[in-house]
Amino acid sequence: MVKPLDQQVALISGASRGIGLATAKRLASDGAHIVALDLAGADFSELEAEIGSLDRQVICNRG
């Protein structure tokens, strides 16, 4: 089944927690690959685990 965002890439700031994390999870479940950005020291472990289980690519960058 083709998902609405299949093979699209979403760039999300503030993606390690709160609304950014929820948005990243939702877009990944709709088929998007995720580029996640957040402040230095951010913990992306929850995001990486969940998106990895959806067979989507996730790139995390702490700035």
- DSSP per-residue letters across 5-63: TTT-EEEEETTTSHHHHHHHHHHHHTT-EEEEEE-TT---HHHHHHHHHTT--EEEEE-
* Cα-to-chain-centroid distance, residue 44: 9
Reported as a pLDDT band with limits 50, 70 and 90, residue 41 is confident
Identify the pLDDT of residue 25: 96
pTM of the model: 0.89
- Residue 46 one-letter amino acid: E
Average pLDDT taken over every residue of the chain: 94
- Domain range list for the chain: 9-62
